[in-house]
Chain A
Amino acid sequence: MADTYVRMERVSKRFGDSVAVNNVSLDIHKGEIFCLLGGSGCGKTTLLRMLAGFEQPTSGAIYIDGQDLAGIPPYERPVNMMFQSYALFPHMSVHANVSFGLEQEGLARAEIRRRVAEILDIVKLGEYAQRKPHQLSGGQRQRVALARSLVKRPKLLLLDEPLGALDRKLREHTQFELISIQERLGVTCVVVTHDQEEAMTLATRVGVMNRGEIVQVGTPREIYEFPSTRFVADFIGSVNLFAGRLTEDEPDHVRVSCGELPAPVFIDHGMSAPPAADCWVAIRPEKIDLTRTAPAQTDNWAHGVIINIAYLGDMSVYLVRLAGGREVRITQTNRTRKPEEQFKWDESVYLSWDASSPVVGVG
């Protein structure tokens, strides 16, 4: 069992009448990258700032490596933050920016120089040491900000929307760089982001937040494949949600009847719910097969007409209107170029999926 390095116990933060963070308890393991994922206003930034020391919790406690952080100002915490705007000191060179934090620790000049050179090497900015921030590109500035916080070897590194300001290609590249640097140095990280792709790529574990509360914690796979609530299912990726009622509830399977689907949905594992309860079923677009001929199974299928195709190069997104008017989203990789295998607009198709694919839940 990974050891808990950062513990938040029933942390709440109020600003006047509004509650930004509501009774959050979270354990973060040593050496992992933990992502707080949520839309704007969900409280993730406030939580981050409490870790950094810029806000004090209204109630609850935060411990890092066993040390209670209550009342400790930011400049005395073993925590460092990489700001969303990078907050590089405009009047200092790259070297001076990075060495600033070490100077506050009172290290010897030679030692500071050595460590700065080392970290600049790791982020591949060695040649830019004498440049000023305004002479650097966005990606380079981000690396300076990262180097500046990493050089102090903090127990906890906080990243506030680290990839938000970068363009797409740079973002992908930087994501992997970040991970490799983190693995190399073994720093425990908490990342705050509203971008799911960022969370999924970077995170060892994700905590989904909504309205000041943690809704689900798990690995990216767990969050995506087994969302515990409707909110999480809808928030992560795109999903087809159907309302339905439980018709069979057995330890090893569940059958749900959905008004919008012609056949019942059969799921091959059990769930805990009251009998004949109202529930929701979530099926991911990539888990649905499109065929021209009717599938053999009696459950888990539907039939409709393709009303929209979005060609994205590596895959295509199909919008299919079912008999009752409901529109379902399906994605398929464009595996072949054979013309007879391409679906066309207004084509009549069958949808089918495996019994292990749907996720069902109540509430």
Chain B
Amino acid sequence: MDPTTGILSQWQFAITSIYHFFFVPLTLGLSVLVAIMETMYFRTEQAMFKRMTKFWGNLFIINFAMGVVTGIVQEFQFGMNWSEYSRYVGDVFGAPLAIEALLAFFLESTFLGLWIFGWDKLSKGMHLAAIWLVAIGSTLSAYWILVANSFMQSPVGFVEENGRLVLQDFGALLTNPYVWGQFPHTIFSGYTTGAFFVIGISAYHILRRHQSDLFKRSFQIAAVFGVIAVFLVVLVGHNQAQRMVQLQPMKIAAAEGLLETEDPASFSLLTIIDQKTLTPRVSIRIPRVLSLLAYNRLDGEVKGVNELQAAFEVQQGPGNYIPSIWATYWAFRAMVGTGFLMLLLAAYALYRTMRNQLTAKTWLLGIFPFALFLPYLANTSGWILTELGRQPWVVYNYMRTADAFSPSLTPGMVIASLVSFTLVYGLLMGADIFLLAKYARAGAEPAGEKRTVEEETYWE
């Protein structure tokens, strides 16, 4: 077993997951928004809502395709690159994956097919039901995959037998406190991504006075939806961080650059730590604020990296139990920072649309097309924090990442896959962004006329 294989496999998992999760949150959010728009069409019978549904639906489809195909790799690479892991946890971990496919993926894919191709073949009500089923399918899939991930973060409902983990209590797996923080947090950040996507592209058209009616309504729907979503992301995120203090104290200590245990604990404004010597180079901290965040009161102990490392050594034997402080610290800050920025922006978007001022003071509205990228930064850094903060464990307290990879692989094989996945994904992502930009800029189908075959929109 060449440890290089493990490190390369880890890089591959990180790269393919980040690619994959670039597309998934928009699928989560936009499916619900498109479903809301079609519901409005269903209730009002206004042609504008149909055009709106089709416009956003088209962008949804372009994005969805990438999420699906990159998802297959996710399911397969546990066995391909992490066979020791798969053998060790498959009894517990495999079930949510299989259930995800059976309950969510079939629903999502079949009804999306019906929705795309069924405009003239289904009744209005059935067509509307189809997009809602797609949205429900996406949300369900998020739940099941996060049940699996939460098991890696905070294992519950199993016993260790003959060197592997065996499911004992399925209910405990489904009600894992960790997943009930992670699932709403992920769902609402998906909804936030959808909202900022719609707000950003709508602002672009409103600024150009292009199809203003349609895009003002889109902006309005997304602003209401977005404010609720970001607010819930922040709220649930706060709750999740408090749970982390109990369940994965090392992750919080690293993300806060907290070397020594403190009570009351200070919150870091800027901390730079030398990981090798575990000494702070820069440390500017606000007293008591970390205790406040952790316990909603001004005191309370938050354990530091050094004490936790010592405790791990006693419990698990010698080793390095400290994740990358640099990566977790900055990922945490990027996530929380963009989260609050988005909360402000969403509130501002709502204010503008409530005051019916979408065409005045356009320079401020000009922020929103750029704000479209904020959720992507937050989503990615959130996962970097979650996954890197758990290291060196693949299953927290039970299996180290370094013991989890496939012994039958050689570094050369993993280099081949790592390089080809990165290149092919990069190429496809380029084509995907090209199409998204093209259709986003073109705007909705003009009212009252149909595009001919020679024109750009090929689905109806």
Are A and B bound to each other? no
- Residues on A facing B (Cβ under 8 Å): none
